[in-house]
Amino acid sequence: MEKFWLPSYPAGVPHNVDPGQYSSLAQLLEESFRKNATQPFSVCMERWMSYRQLDDLSAAFGAWLQRLGLEPGARVAIMLPNVPQFAVTMAAILRAGYTCVNVNPLYTARELEHQLKDSGATAIVVLENFAHTLEEVISRTPVKHVVLTAFGDLLGPWYGRWLTFAVRHLAKMVPPFRLPTNEGRTVTPFRKALAEGSHLSLKPAATNLDSIAFLQYTGGTTGLSKGAVLTHRNVVAAILQAEAWFTPALDRVGNVRETNSIAALPLYHIFALTLCFLAIRWGSHITLVPNPRDIGKFVEVLKRRPFHMLPAVNTLFNALLQHPQFRTVDFSQLCVSQAGGMAASEGTARHWREVTGCAMVEGWGMSETCAIGTNNPVTTDKFSGTIGLPLPGVEIAIKDDEGKSLAVGDSGEICIRGPNVMTGYYMQPVETAQAFTADGFMRTGDIGIMDTQGYTRIVDRKKDMILVSGFNVFPSELENVISLCDGVLECAVIGVPDAKQGEAIKVYVVRSDPTLSEDDVAKYCAQNLTGYKHPKYIEFRDELPKSNVGKILRRELRAGK
């Protein structure tokens, strides 16, 4: 297809990437470890890890996993927050020739059981804080080997031990658990596995670019969580696409190896995971934030040293802006404020630019695309209200329900094709077939419009569309408008059954000004939205239900939660 958006690319950004320059993700990792051995890789609670340490620890743990006798390509689950153990575990699994299965540590027992059974994971690395959830389900899963880690395991011999003690006994953040060792199951402390593995040799893995690197489970916002099959080729392509797109914004850093990226979004989420790999490709370092919900401590982390890249969802940007100490942060080195994971609102973007001097740049991607899809140019100085241009090697088409490409300016389903797009859903041939069009584009479920320059604007998710008296109403449009109303901190829009209209519009509002009234919101909507888009119901709440990455969950509002 004609890539008519390429003339809109910033100068110097390539039109394509070549994942074939690597034989696997393991080669990319090991190349970086060699080149950047003395460079810092991460900092967590002021404890640093170098690339050499990441190399040595992941090689030891990978060799230990191989000694378990796991079959090539075996699925190993990672149930960890943003602590140094995450990168060590992930690199070890990939270097040993296995498949990473990222698990949300806050999963319920039901969700965890589904993912472990669906993926066929036979081993899991879990933070002890969440072991009680694993205990509930492990007997009904294929898991045979558990590696148990404590919070301070890689945070130094003295500070780490003290922190583990504090987490266990002072904060009481480790609920009681007893993991069964019957039926051949093993439970091994993480540090013991590292010690044993340090005396073993990591054997070269027989993986290639078409081997499965990750089973990245979808958030389940539109149904049962499915495992997106991401190959080594998919992930390498995504890393190179991100590098091509973000490098121009970092010219003033001088050397990209000096870049400090903030990892506040959970690394098990595809958005943060891809940017972690980008840091490894650059040889730069990341600042790990284990609990970004504690905004006060997060702000303190930001104040400790200059930072250059801050990826976040709209709600996290908003929460930072509301903290009284946020304005005392030094933003002079901030080059990229990358918004993704959910729609960015113009109100938040405007406020962010005023406070930080750095424009919020919105992008779009999915678990199924390694978080890569479209992005606004990172050199921009303003918020566009679109999700930007297709990244190098990516093709975007707007299609109808039959898979026919529509004309520029027409509204339809956003479909994507490129080297970063998954090969399918794990063990789900019917779902996989339904996900792709005859010409190889993946259906995303997002409704959008592309303009003549190649910029795409998302109208909404198919399943979130509200039908009011025969008119299509898209919640994200209303949310963006209402977010600009004085006194509104954040909002969410859903459709509710209505005898006369089919559906009526209900908006949930979190106030920044306690004097804001329903009448104020209604008057604002009357001034800024056409009649059939006016909310019939307005409800104020102290907070909105969100996923662990801060995405507002409309489905819970529809369920009355």
Nearest alpha carbon to residue 240 among 464, 51, 437, 392: 392
Query: How confident is the model over 161-169, as a mean pLDDT?
Result: 97
Question: What pLDDT is stored for residue 85 in this prediction?
Answer: 98
CATH of the domain at 92: 3.40.50.980
Nearest alpha carbon to residue 210 among 242, 235, 227, 244: 235
Instruction: With cut-offs at 50, 70 and 90, classify the pLDDT of residue 224.
Output: low
Query: How confident is the model over 465-481, as a mean pLDDT?
Result: 83
Q: What is the mean pLDDT of the chain?
A: 94
Count the domains in the chain: 3
**Same domain, yes or no, for 43 and 157?**
yes
537 has a pLDDT exceeding 50: yes
| Backbone dihedral angles phi then psi of residue 247, each to the nearest 5 degrees | -55, -40
Instruction: With cut-offs at 50, 70 and 90, classify the pLDDT of residue 74.
Output: very high
Query: How confident is the model over 149-174, as a mean pLDDT?
Result: 97
Within-domain flag for 2: no
Question: What pLDDT is stored for residue 551 in this prediction?
Answer: 84
Question: What pLDDT is stored for residue 222 in this prediction?
Answer: 41
219 has a pLDDT exceeding 60: no
Full residue range of the structural domain in which residue 101 is found: 24-207
Question: What pLDDT is stored for residue 246 in this prediction?
Answer: 95
**Same domain, yes or no, for 506 and 357?**
no
Instruction: From 433, 460, 487, give the residue that closes a domain.
Output: 460
Within-domain flag for 9: no
**Which pLDDT tens digit goes with each residue over 343-389?**
788 889 999 999 999 999 999 999 999 999 999 999 988 888 899 99
* Spatial distance between the Cα atoms of 283 and 258, rounded to a whole number of angstroms: 8
**Which pLDDT tens digit goes with each residue over 291-343?**
998 999 999 999 999 999 999 988 899 999 999 999 999 999 999 999 988 77
Instruction: From 443, 460, 477, give the residue that closes a domain.
Output: 460
**Same domain, yes or no, for 120 and 156?**
yes
Instruction: From 424, 444, 460, give the residue that closes a domain.
Output: 460
**Same domain, yes or no, for 346 and 392?**
yes
**Same domain, yes or no, for 476 and 513?**
yes
**What is the DSSP code string of 55-90?**
HHHHHHHHHHHHHTTPPTT-EEEEE--SSHHHHHHH
Question: What pLDDT is stored for residue 427 in this prediction?
Answer: 95
* Spatial distance between the Cα atoms of 482 and 15, rounded to a whole number of angstroms: 37
Cβ 263 vs Cβ 275: under 8 Å:
yes
Within-domain flag for 10: no
Within-domain flag for 410: yes
CATH of the domain at 384: 3.40.50.12780
472 has a pLDDT exceeding 90: no
CATH of the domain at 484: 3.30.300.30
Query: How confident is the model over 506-525, as a mean pLDDT?
Result: 96
Question: What pLDDT is stored for residue 220 in this prediction?
Answer: 46
Within-domain flag for 212: no
Within-domain flag for 493: yes
Neighbours of 175 (CB within 10 A): 12
User: Residue 371 corresponds to which amino acid?
Assistant: A
